[in-house]
Homo-oligomer: A and B are copies of this chain.
Amino acid sequence: MTGRPTLAVVGATGGVGAVMLQILSQHADVWGDIKLLASPRTAGTKLSVRGVETEVEALTEEALRGVDVAVFLVPDDVAARWAPLAAAGGTVVVDGSGAFRGDPEVPLVVPEVNAHAARTRPRSIVASPGCTTLSLIVAVGALHAEFGLRELVVSSYEAVSAEGQEGVDALRRQTALVANTKLGTHPGDVRRAVGEATGPFPAPLALNVVPWSGALREDGWSSEEMGIRAETRKILGLADLPVTATCVRVPVVTAHSASVHARFEQEITVERAHETLATAPGVVLFDNPAAGDFPTPADVVGTDPTWVGRVRRTLDDPRGLELFVCGDNLRKGAALNSAQIAEAIAAELSA
């Protein structure tokens, strides 16, 4: 390759795509041309990236020609079809969808945790994890490197923007419907107020929490819960790690949170956990309840790192730790992680 690599953002018109364009405009610029691709529906739209108005093109093999790295921020089925075509044409694909996360020939990468894995890509595809895994894996990965993870129990508090603009619109509409009322004290009154406006969710979210995200899998598990387990194991290289998760949607626009119970091989203290987290790349330790310091979604939205607070040693297990983590599901949870992977590949191609 001569000169800087050409990048394509596939899905540039989507929710994650919009954050990707912001990030590309903010980060040190490592790219030559940047092409913006989407469906034929939005071809011709103009979007700004690096301060330059750029016309969106329809995703075609022609449009992918000469692209060195393509970041796919599109639905699973679109990625499943197009990523291999792009790879066959010589493009390295970074896929933000769920299409390839479980593929044994596709590395699943979180640069702070397993950057090295991105260098071996038999299919010329690298996958980025799901947003719930990404909300906790940077902190958990740093602790694993130091203390040796042996078990993980996760309960999530997931924001609606993980269901795209439709999710955000549904929560905003519902919030307006329940505001200035005495709702929330009688059975069914929130459901009646929200009516059909549940959007992509199986129950109202305003003044409510809903213990479901993703699609139904075997034995009552959701795809999101299974994903946290499979992805954590793959990223940490711990194929048999016991991981259990319960995923719950909450009325938050953006930023996922998780309550994490972790058991390690070694004994652990809050002091040593603090030391590890305070120096881990991509992590902000924000843990002083006496001063009201613990992360909340409203405070971390729009920021890059994984925020960690409420660090406690499990009272009945000297090898156990409790944490509460928060991270922006559109930044580190989606666009940022894909951008970081793409930038590492750019550095490798330019080297």
Interface residues of A (CB under 8 A from B): 153, 155, 157, 161, 168, 171-172, 175-176, 178-180, 182-191, 202-204, 206-212, 216, 219-222, 229, 240-244, 246, 248, 250-254, 257, 259, 261, 270, 287, 289-290, 292, 294-303, 309-317, 320, 322, 324
Given the complex of chains A and B, what is the CA–CA distance between A182 and B176 in angstroms? 11
With beta carbons under 8 angstroms apart, the residue of B207, B210, B254 that contacts A184 is B254
Q: What are the residues of chain B within 8 A of A317 when measuring CB–CB?
A: 242, 244
CB distance from A191 to the nearest CB of B (A): 6
Which residue of chain B has its CB nearest to the CB of A293?
A: B202
Q: What are the residues of chain B within 8 A of A303 when measuring CB–CB?
A: 187
Given the complex of chains A and B, what is the CA–CA distance between A313 and B311 in angstroms? 27
Q: What are the residues of chain B within 8 A of A244 when measuring CB–CB?
A: 261, 314-317, 320, 322
Q: What are the residues of chain B within 8 A of A312 when measuring CB–CB?
A: 219-221
With beta carbons under 8 angstroms apart, the residue of B175, B270, B296 that contacts A179 is B175
Known pairs A155-B259, A203-B299, A211-B310; list 11 more (Cβ under 8 Å). A183-B253, A207-B253, A207-B297, A209-B257, A211-B295, A219-B312, A229-B315, A242-B316, A243-B316, A244-B261, A248-B324
Which residue of chain B has its CB nearest to the CB of A240?
A: B316
Contacts known (A219-B270, A244-B315, A248-B157); A175 close to B207, Cβ less than 8 A: yes
Tell me whether B157 and A250 are in contact (CB under 8 A).
yes
Tell me whether A220 and B297 are in contact (CB under 8 A).
no
Q: What are the residues of chain B within 8 A of A261 when measuring CB–CB?
A: 153, 244, 246, 261
With beta carbons under 8 angstroms apart, the residue of B216, B252, B302 that contacts A208 is B252
Tell me whether A211 and B298 are in contact (CB under 8 A).
no
CB distance from A267 to the nearest CB of B (A): 15
CB distance from A313 to the nearest CB of B (A): 7
- Report how many copies the assembly holds: 2
Given the complex of chains A and B, what is the CA–CA distance between A243 and B206 in angstroms? 31
CB distance from A159 to the nearest CB of B (A): 8
Given the complex of chains A and B, what is the CA–CA distance between A313 and B317 in angstroms? 23
Q: What are the residues of chain B within 8 A of A299 when measuring CB–CB?
A: 187-188, 191, 203
Given the complex of chains A and B, what is the CA–CA distance between A244 and B262 in angstroms? 11
Tell me whether B298 and A203 are in contact (CB under 8 A).
yes
With beta carbons under 8 angstroms apart, the residue of B161, B208, B243, B324 that contacts A298 is B208
Q: What are the residues of chain B within 8 A of A155 when measuring CB–CB?
A: 155, 246, 259
With beta carbons under 8 angstroms apart, the residue of B187, B204, B243, B322 that contacts A301 is B187
With beta carbons under 8 angstroms apart, the residue of B168, B191, B229, B246 that contacts A324 is B246
Tell me whether A298 and B179 are in contact (CB under 8 A).
no
- 9 residue pairs of the A-B complex, CB under 8 angstroms, read A157-B209, A184-B253, A184-B301, A186-B302, A187-B300, A207-B252, A207-B253, A211-B257, A251-B251
With beta carbons under 8 angstroms apart, the residue of B171, B175, B184, B211 that contacts A294 is B211
CB distance from A132 to the nearest CB of B (A): 13
Q: What are the residues of chain B within 8 A of A211 when measuring CB–CB?
A: 257, 259, 294-296, 309-310, 324
Which residue of chain B has its CB nearest to the CB of A220?
A: B312
